[in-house]
Structure 1
Amino acid sequence: MAGLELDREIPAALAVVERHEKIAYDYDLQKKGTISDETADKADPVHEGLEFPTEEQLVTLRRVSDTIPWTAYMIAVVELAERFSYYGSSAVFVNFIQQPLPPNSTTGAGGLNGQSGALGRGQQMSTGLTTFYQFWSYITPIAGAYVADTYWGRYKTICVSVAIAMLGHVIMIISAVPGVIGGNASVGLFILSLIITGMGAGGFKSNISPLVAEQYRRTKMFIAVTKTGERVIVDPSLTTSRIYMYFYLFINIGALIGQIGMVYAEKLVGYWLAYTLPTVVFLLSPLVLWYGHGKYHTSPPTGSVLATAVRVWRYAMRGRWSWNPIKTIRNLTADDFWESAKPTRVVGEKPAWMRFDDNWVEELRRGFKACSVFLWFPIYWLSYNQLNNNLTSQAATMSTHGLPNDILSNLDPFALIIFIPLCDLVFYPALIRWRINFRPLQKIAWGFYSGAAAMVWAAVVQHYIYKTNPCGYHAGTCVDNNGNPLVSPLNVWIQSGSYVLIAFSEIFASITGLEYAFTKAPRNMRSLVMSMFLFTNAIAAAIGEAFVSLSTDPLLVWNYGSVAVICGVSGIIFWILVRKLNSQEDKLNNMAEGRFD
Structure 2
Amino acid sequence: MVYAERYVGFWLSFLLPTIMFMFCPVVLLVFHKKYNLREPTDSVFGKFLLLTKHACKDGGYKHIGKETFWTRVKPSVTANKPKWMTFDDAWVDEISRGVKACSVFLFYPLWWLAYNQIDNNLVSQAATMSLHGVPNDLLNNMNPLAIIIMIPIVDNVVYPLLRRYKIRFTPLRRMCASFFVACSAMIWAAVVQYYIYETNPCGRYVATCETPAGDRIVSSLNVWIQTGAYVLVGLSEIFGSITGLEYAYTKAPANMRSLVFGLYNFTSALSAAIGQAFVALAADPLLIWNYGAVAIIAFVTGIAFYLVFTRPWDKFEEEMNMLKESEYKGHTLGGHSEKKMEDGAVEQTPPVREVRE
Q: How far apart, in 2, do the equivalents of 1:512 and 1:298 lie?
A: 26
The verdict on how the C-alpha distance between 1:439 and 1:499 changes in structure 2, with shifts beyond 3 A counting, is same
Shift of 1:359: 0.5
2:73 matches 1:332: no
The verdict on how the C-alpha distance between 1:445 and 1:398 changes in structure 2, with shifts beyond 3 A counting, is same
Shift of 1:321: 6.8
Deviations 1:234-281 (A, max 9, x none): xxxxxxxxxxxxxxxxxxxxxxxxxxxx10000111000001100111
2:221 maps to which of 486, 490, 493: 490
1:398 maps to which of 117, 129, 142: 129
Task: Give the aligned partner of residue 144 of structure 2.
Answer: 413
Task: Give the aligned partner of residue 354 of structure 1.
Answer: 85
Q: Which amino acid aligns with 2:71?
A: E
**1:461-540 residue pairs with structure 2 within 5 A?**
461-540=192-271
Q: Which amino acid aligns with 2:307?
A: I
Partner-residue secondary structure (3-state), 2:87: coil
Q: TM-score, normalised by structure 1?
A: 0.54
Partner-residue secondary structure (3-state), 1:485: coil
Task: Give the aligned partner of residue 98 of structure 1.
Answer: none
2:292 maps to which of 548, 554, 561: 561
CA contact (8 A) 2:110 2:297 kept: yes
2:100 matches 1:369: yes
Q: How far apart, in 1, do the equivalents of 2:266 and 2:199 lie?
A: 40
CA contact (8 A) 1:456 1:560 kept: yes
CA contact (8 A) 2:174 2:243 kept: yes
Q: Which amino acid aligns with 1:408?
A: L
CA contact (8 A) 1:320 1:332 kept: no
Shift of 1:577: 1.1
**1:309-324 residue pairs with structure 2 within 5 A?**
309-320=48-59
Shift of 1:495: 1.1
Task: Give the aligned partner of residue 433 of structure 1.
Answer: 164
2:9 maps to which of 221, 246, 270: 270
Q: How far apart, in 2, do the equivalents of 1:297 and 1:437 lie?
A: 34
Partner-residue secondary structure (3-state), 1:317: helix
Task: List alignment gaps of at least 5 residues for structure 2.
Answer: 329-345, 347-357
CA contact (8 A) 2:60 2:69 kept: no
Partner-residue secondary structure (3-state), 2:57: coil
The verdict on how the C-alpha distance between 1:428 and 1:520 changes in structure 2, with shifts beyond 3 A counting, is same
1:290 maps to which of 29, 35, 45: 29
Deviations 1:87-109 (A, max 9, x none): xxxxxxxxxxxxxxxxxxxxxxx
Q: How far apart, in 2, do the equivalents of 1:492 and 1:405 lie?
A: 8
2:322 matches 1:590: yes
The verdict on how the C-alpha distance between 1:298 and 1:434 changes in structure 2, with shifts beyond 3 A counting, is farther
Q: How far apart, in 2, do the equivalents of 1:292 and 1:526 lie?
A: 25
CA contact (8 A) 1:301 1:524 kept: no
Task: Give the aligned partner of residue 242 of structure 1.
Answer: none
Task: Give the aligned partner of residue 342 of structure 1.
Answer: 74
**1:52-451 residue pairs with structure 2 within 5 A?**
262-320=1-59, 328=62, 331-347=63-79, 349-451=80-182
CA contact (8 A) 1:448 1:567 kept: yes
Q: How far apart, in 2, do the equivalents of 1:387 and 1:300 lie?
A: 40
Q: CA RMSD in A?
A: 1.4
The verdict on how the C-alpha distance between 1:296 and 1:580 changes in structure 2, with shifts beyond 3 A counting, is farther
CA contact (8 A) 1:398 1:490 kept: yes
Partner-residue secondary structure (3-state), 2:68: coil
CA contact (8 A) 1:316 1:339 kept: no
Q: Percent identity of the aligned residues?
A: 52
Deviations 1:447-492 (A, max 9, x none): 1100011001111111111122121111112122232211011111
Deviations 1:26-78 (A, max 9, x none): xxxxxxxxxxxxxxxxxxxxxxxxxxxxxxxxxxxxxxxxxxxxxxxxxxxxx
Deviations 1:354-390 (A, max 9, x none): 1101100000111101000111111111001000000
The verdict on how the C-alpha distance between 1:566 and 1:357 changes in structure 2, with shifts beyond 3 A counting, is same
Task: Give the aligned partner of residue 277 of structure 2.
Answer: 546
Q: How far apart, in 2, do the equivalents of 1:421 and 1:406 lie?
A: 26
Q: How far apart, in 2, do the equivalents of 1:459 and 1:365 lie?
A: 41
CA contact (8 A) 1:451 1:567 kept: yes
Q: How far apart, in 2, do the equivalents of 1:436 and 1:294 lie?
A: 43
Q: TM-score, normalised by structure 2?
A: 0.89
Shift of 1:595: 2.7
Task: List alignment gaps of at least 5 residues for structure 1.
Answer: 1-261, 323-327
Partner-residue secondary structure (3-state), 1:455: helix
CA contact (8 A) 1:412 1:502 kept: yes
Shift of 1:343: 0.9
Higher relative contact order (CA 8 A, sep 6+): 2
Q: How far apart, in 2, do the equivalents of 1:320 and 1:511 lie?
A: 39
Task: Give the aligned partner of residue 181 of structure 1.
Answer: none
